Structure 1
């Protein structure tokens, strides 16, 4: 019974801390990625189109967002009265709590002399601190921890990688005989949804397990076979979805540009280190990596595997990202989440007088309660903040009962907030349908009668360059060009 109360208290504390961390991000400039970034809205757009029964012909990237979409759809069905921004905020909290669950799995079973709940919370706090220290509005900034809170930037993959480490540990320490089957299932679903799972988990963990097999460790063959088989099945399972995959990911790999990639990531790191928050994040990460190395050198069994995974995963991912010539900070998320595994690798109980222990627990409970109570209204306020410019453009389009168009970075936020998202078609600057993270069924309309633009829009190259709009409607950062009397034809779609 006492163990049950400890577990419940751990989940409650993690939820309270998650609300605080999400509120901090939502109140910072980083909220741009949480509520408004063009990439970040794809899951919400997809879920809405499915739940509203629209024709489905989606063009995704190499990521299918299956667990993320399922989570967001469930939240919308359970909390139908919430606005889409409020759902984003709740989803951020859910993602963080799921991370705690994966860390708790990785910390291992309770036993004499072990405090896995305490150390899981410690690891969760360390990750939360990294999130709080990230405040840039740029999706290209080297601030990978906060990406977990979005619905788009691989939150399910982050959780699944840590969960796989935990499942291997449980198997090593003599857990339930069906663990390899669960591991294989996680690998199938994760790879099916996001092949990046293979780079973040299968390659580095497969390497560790393969070395264990060569050393004749009896615990290694089963999880290695499960991981490799699950990944292979997940890749094969993507074939039926090939029509929805606009980019298989092969185009992202350009090994000949590895020097440019190295310079790119080095410049991001240098820019990050110019800010106090970046310096603090770097110091925390280096300290956690040092703890991981310590676990590798001084521990055995499951603890050693977890600690080693904590530094091997980010090292191999960074090397691989550079070697493949990639240019995207989001690929380096393991640098943020993997090192915290050092804190759950060896969750020994901290010896202290019973009175002092109770006082520490009580003080921690009070702190968490205060943080959550104060942060909940702050998170709600951030999610309900009025965007007058967005309200202006969506009100005009809703009232027009017509279909218009806009470019990717401009159109996606208004599109999500319209009564009928199909009233805005995503195009490029030449009015060709732009089939990227959007439902291609929108292009069937054939022509549009207005354009929406903002500072992110390229200069239009219209089919009839001499035609001037009938009216220009200013909406703050948006401008609506009305072509009601001479509709503009859409060109053939491109991705």
Structure 2
């Protein structure tokens, strides 16, 4: 028991070190734009800050409610408030926490420790494989086919990714004749319910592909007794999750039906093909894709050579789920790389399908483990100085904060421009989100902000669409804050138009 405890603790410690190194690497590249500064990826941080500031809750969310992500960041926000940490530091910490949680899901999928098995070691290897792919992703684009690094963000479905891996692990453990097997379908139903409530994308990522695998398994008499309860639980949980969204419809500004455009499947093929070509245009992109292909091939081979039912169903999930997701997203005519995340995360489960212990001398294994641990500790220690600059607000943001705070007035900016300054502003209520015609833009923001019916300055940057204002609406001054320009209208008030999303 003591040896098992130390192995598990060691696995979590190594996962934390890998997470720190990976997040630091991403924070030191252009990918930090997505992690720390992209307007679309700040919704969770903005919402948690809004609640923390005691603002009335009237948020206009997308199809995704980000429930697990909000809970995690809220806890970090409380810790950060107590320790006086900058919000960028919390976003970096959230990235580390997400990767450690990813390890937990992989470790769960690896199954219980048994004689001749090394689930902890192989779980660390699987996490390392995903993180190696993540470190090859260095662009600032949210639309790039760089999927592994999205796990470090607070917005791009980290909770759903982890839920999919947990679901695959629950199915595996049920087929492993786990001693708690009778309760596993219940837990699968709970995971499905919470996940669909938060993000209906879980249906396409887990409920449909895993349901198809379980349906095929139910054809075989030997597997039917375990497959059918899991199938019913997965289906019931998904349906209940959809029903649970109905009371929350006031905060859901888009039900997601518009994202499915089957008639546009040829454009979808070209879109994802172009993204793949762009990914393969750099040596790092080739390295990441080759590692992913190797994992996919290994998953196929492992599903053929599996030595028990649990290993087989997990290995099959490792390549069938990504395949179904790709086909499904193309058939639906989608145009968003983030919808393909199972492609990069699920194949790694093949490494823990049959986590056999390697036959090496005990002393050699201890030395190898110690050397790897020391290397990770050193790498994590060297990563801290690389993360520190990323956690500091830029001089441009400080300039905006100083001017807006000193003005004591309320201003506005467009979606891609205003969200980052609003998050870092001393008083977030001084900035309102609008479109280029000064209509209140109710998308991923608190509609309570629109109680302010007029503004006296506008913030813009290179991402802003040219303003469409009246000929008499000219600013009296323009304040340069690096990438931002503040157009000050002085005592002249600009009325906000009606809300739209």
TM-score by length of 1: 0.98
Separation in 1, partners of 2:490, 2:242: 47
Determine if the alignment matches structure 1 residue 93 to structure 2 residue 93.
no
Point out the more displaced range, 136-145 or 173-182.
173-182
CA deviation string 1:45-82 (max 9, x = no partner): 10111122101111111000111000000111123121
Please name the residue that 1:149 is paired with. Answer: 152
Mapped contact 2:69–2:158 kept (Cα < 8 A): yes
Indicate yes or no: 2:369 matched with 1:366: no
- Please provide the CA RMSD for this pair: 0.9
- Find the counterpart in structure 2 of residue 353 from structure 1: 361
Alignment of 1:72-471 (within 5 A): 72-80=73-81, 81-175=84-178, 176=180, 177-216=182-221, 217=223, 218-299=225-306, 300-384=308-392, 386-462=393-469, 464-471=470-477
Contact 1:34 1:40 in 2 (8 A): yes
Kept in 1, the 8 Å contact 2:80–2:86? The answer is no
Q: Tell me, in whole angstroms, the C-alpha distance in 2 between the residues paired with 1:168 and 1:449.
A: 57
- Say whether the 8 Å CA contact 1:410–1:454 is kept in structure 2: yes
Deviation of 1:408 (Å): 0.4
Give the Å deviation of 1:434.
0.7
Unaligned runs of 5+ in 1: none
Partner SS for 1:337: helix
How far apart are residue 467 of structure 1 and its match? Answer: 2.4
Q: What is the Cα deviation at residue 367 of structure 1?
A: 1.1
User: Would you say the 8 A contact 1:19–1:379 is kept in 2?
Assistant: no
Determine helix, strand or coil for the equivalent of 2:404. Answer: helix
**CA-to-aligned-CA distance 1:72-127 (integer Å, 9 cap, x gap):** 00111123121100000100000000000000000000010000000000000000
Counterpart of 1:63?
A: 64
Task: Point out where structure 2 has 5 or more consecutive residues left out of the alignment.
Answer: none
1:145-198 deviation line (CA, Å, top 9, x unaligned): 100100000000000100111111111112213121111111111110000011
Q: Does 1:494 align with 2:500?
A: yes
Q: Which runs of 4+ in 1 moved over 6 A?
A: none
Contact 1:13 1:368 in 2 (8 A): yes
Structure-1 separation of matches of 2:37 and 2:359? 47
Number of positions where the alignment pairs a residue of Structure 1 with one of Structure 2:
493
Spell out, residue by residue over 1:394-415, the C-alpha distance to the aligned partner (whole angstroms, 9 max, x if none).
2111111111110000000001
Q: Distance in 2 between matches of 1:14 and 1:349?
A: 19
Which stretch of the first structure deviates more once superposed, 179-188 or 232-241?
Answer: 179-188
Task: State the secondary structure of the residue aligned to 1:219.
Answer: helix
Query: Structure 1 CA distance, aligned partners of 2:98 and 2:301?
Result: 29
Partners of 2:85 and 2:177 in 1: CA distance: 44
Structure 1 CA distance, aligned partners of 2:241 and 2:6?
38
Query: CA separation in 2, counterparts of 1:4 and 1:104?
Result: 14
Rounded Cα–Cα distance in structure 1 between residues aligned with 2:12 and 2:493: 56
In the alignment, which residue of structure 1 is the partner of 2:38?
37
Structure 2 contact 105–165 (Cα < 8 Å) conserved:
yes
Q: What's the counterpart of residue 49 of structure 1?
A: 50
The alpha-carbon deviation at position 223 of structure 1 amounts to: 1.2
| Structure 1 residues 3-28: Cα deviation after superposition (integer angstroms, max 9, x where no partner) | 00000000001101110000000001
User: Quick check: 1:475 aligned with 2:481?
Assistant: yes
Structure 2 length as normaliser, TM-score? 0.97
Aligned residue for 2:286, secondary structure, equals helix
8 Å CA contact 1:410–1:456 kept in 2: the answer is: yes
